[in-house]
Each structure stands twice: as C-alpha cells, then as structure tokens.
Amino acid sequence: MLVEPLKKRFQYHFYGNKPTNNIEKPEWFFTQLLTWAKAHADCITTVIQPALWDAGYDFVNGHIEFLRSLHTIAMEKLITCVPDIMYDEHLYSHLIRETLSFHSDMCTAHDYPPDEPTCLHILTAEETFKKWIIIEKKFAQEKMDTITSSPTAWTSQFNAELEDDDQFKAVEVRLVQLRKEFSTTSAPYLAILNTSHYIVSFLKEWTERPFFIKLQYQARLLSLDNSQLSTLLPTLLSRDASYQLPSSINVDDIDDLECTLFNTSIANISSLEDEMLKSLAHHVTTDLKAKLRTYADNSQSMYVLDILVFYTVIAENHFSEGGVVQFKFDMTRNLFPVVGRYTSKPENFLKMVKESCHLLSMQLGDALLLKSALADSLHSLNSKTPQDPIATIQEQNVFKLDPEEAELVLSRRTDLLRNY
C-alpha cells in the first residue's frame, strides 16, 4: 500500500511520452528511486516497523521490504527499456554503469542485502549478459590497442627511477603480434618480455587467492552432468553456502582442482616468454661469438707481434746502456700504446718484450749473477747440485721466457760482454 502511490508516480513520469522518459538518461529514474528510499527511511523505521511488530509480524523487516519494492519498480523499467537500447553500445554501456551505481548505492547507503532481488538480475540474464561481455571485450581491446600502439607505449614513465622499461586471451594475442613487430635488440622487445613475465607472475599470484579458488571450485561443480548438478543447486544458491560437496557427490567426479582458472593463459604467455628468452639468448651468444672471434684474432696477432719483435729485434742486436734506454722507451711509449687501443693491459700480450726489457735494464751486478747462475745450471757439467734454471729466472719475475731465451737476452747486453 505504501509503494502503490510511488509506483503510479513513477509510471507517470518514466513511461509513455513524458520528457522524463528518456532512455538515454537512466540515471533520472534511478535517482528518483534513491530519493524515495532516503526520504521514507525515517518513516519506515519509526512508524511502519513498530506497527509490524505490534501486529505480530516480527519476522518482517519493513525497511528491506520497502527497498525490495523499489527494486521491483526499477527491474520492471529495465525490462521495458533494455531491448530498445541493447544493440546501441554506448547507450547500453551507460545503462550498465548507472545500474551498477544504483546497486552500489542501495547496498552501501541503505543497507540493502546484496542477495535480495536486484537490478543486476536483469543484466545478468543470458542474452543481456552476453551482450554486456561483448561490449566489455570490444572496448577493452580498443583501449589496449590504443595504448600499445602509442609511440610511448613501451617507454617507462619512471625514467628518473628506472630505465627498463580482462580478457587474457586478447592480451596473449596482442603480445604475440607485438613480439613479431620488433627486433630482438629493440627496447620495445625487452619491454614486451618484461610485460609477459609480469602477467605470468600476477596470474600465478591470483590462482592462490581464495576468491579464484572458490570460483574454480564452482566451475568444476558446474561441469558435472545434469543429474549431479541438480543435487548441488540448493547448496550453490544458498546464502550460507560453504563450498562443501554434498555427500552424494564423489570427489573423483570433479577434475583435479590444481588446474586453475588461469592455467591456459599462464601456459600460453609463459610459452611466449620462453620463446622470446631463447631468441634473445641466441642473439646474445651469436653476437658474443662474433666479437670473441675478433678478439681471438687480434690476440693471436699480438702474440705473433711479440714473437716477431723478440727474434728479429732483440735476438739479432746488441744493446749498450743507451740502446737499452732507447729500446725500452720505444716499447713502452710507442708499441704498448698502439696495442693499448685494443686492450687495457697491452703488456699481457707482449710478455716476451716486457720481460726482455726487464732483463736488459737490470742492474749490472744482478745481471752478472743471473747470467752466471743460468750458465751453471744450463751448461756446467761439474756442478753437483745444479740450480733449477726456471726457479732462477722466476725469482727475477721472468715467467714467459724460458731459461735459454733469458740467457739469450742477457747475452745481447754489451756491458756483460765486457765484464763476463
């Protein structure tokens, strides 16, 4: 009785040819219903509810009954207007947005139980819900294509801090398309690789959340045959459903619950990530091999240069004190810097020259002792305890030259020829 006058006023304003009956403005009738809910709240709480208690209707909640009646009015209106706008994507999406807002306001501001009949029942009917999903998918794909095709799509917005740069099927397909557009060494390629890894990470995290576990559980239940499903409906529709299998259902009839809702998406995106990693690794190893080959060639050339200088310059000439100074200057100030253009330590590739310079520039006394020790260990037949020639030259930090080569270098010193 309380709602009948409101229903007549609603029909007067929001049906027929009235200006307020505008299918492009569903917020008008939703706002009117919310206004009535707020305006009548005190009256129902202070007058209607006590009257119900006095009449013996303790089990009746007047506030909820009133809100349910307002929802019934809204649902009747939606039934009449949804068919007219369902195929206009913008009007239908606007209606969905306003309906969700109305439902949220009723539940939060007016404490309407979400498990009571609501306007969402109209939008979640099979035909209307399919259209809703189609529109959501279309708009999401358009938005995603706009974002990913932007020139700055794969550039990190946090350049000051870091310089690296829901329909998951669409994400998978789009990532595969983008992966084929960029070369392995490009920054967008690496950004797509990071994106793939991130999506897999948070999907794996979602699979462990109770909400998705329960959703997967119900999906498995709904996959049972009709005879088994009929025994589950009371449990699924119950307000206090505890997600427990009835005793009549065999657990073996349900697929392994370890198979999560996102298994397919995780597998596909992980496969893309693995493929991209393999491609990147192949490129890196190929490039590294090419550079190492050049390095090896250059190293071999420097070793040849080291031997050439030793046998054609050092072994073929005698060096006075001034000649030693000039030779050492030519090697350390001219030859080593040229090789230093390709390596930070050129002396590591010209060890024979380096050690020869050391032997040629030794103090005269040390050079005489070393030459004498080498002669005894290499040529003396009467020595009872000959010294190890290798140990002898290593004491002088000579490791590359063998004892015979060290002796040859010392023999090129003119001062040793005079004093030997």
Task: For 308-320, write each residue's pLDDT tens digit.
Answer: 889 999 999 999 9
Three-state DSSP state, 133? helix
Single-letter amino acid code for the residue at 172: E
| Residue 251: predicted pLDDT | 47
Instruction: Of 262, 263, 244, 266, give the one whose Cα is nearest residue 254.
Output: 244
**pTM of the complete model:** 0.41
Give the model confidence (pLDDT) of 143-161 as tens digits.
888 887 777 776 655 554 4
15: left (phi over 0), alpha (psi -120 to 50) or beta: beta
Contact 197, 179 (CB under 8 A): no
Contact 162, 149 (CB under 8 A): no
Range ranked top by mean pLDDT from 212-226, 229-243, 268-282, 397-411: 397-411
Please state the rounded mean pLDDT for residues 7-34: 89
Residues in the chain: 420
Averaged pLDDT score across all residues of the chain: 79
Contact 357, 412 (CB under 8 A): no
Helix, strand, coil abundance in the chain, percent, nearest 5: 70, 0, 30
| Residue 155: predicted pLDDT | 66
Three-state DSSP state, 247? coil
Q: What's the gap between Cα 356 and its chain centre?
A: 56
Distance of alpha carbon 362 from alpha carbon 279, whole angstroms: 56
| Residue 178: predicted pLDDT | 60
Provide DSSP, 82-99.
HHHHTT-HHHHHHHHHHH
Percent of the chain topping pLDDT 90: 17
- Count helices and strands (H / E) in the chain: 20, 0
Task: Return the DSSP state at 116.
Answer: S
Q: How far is CA 208 from CA 203, 223, 261, in A?
A: 9, 21, 11
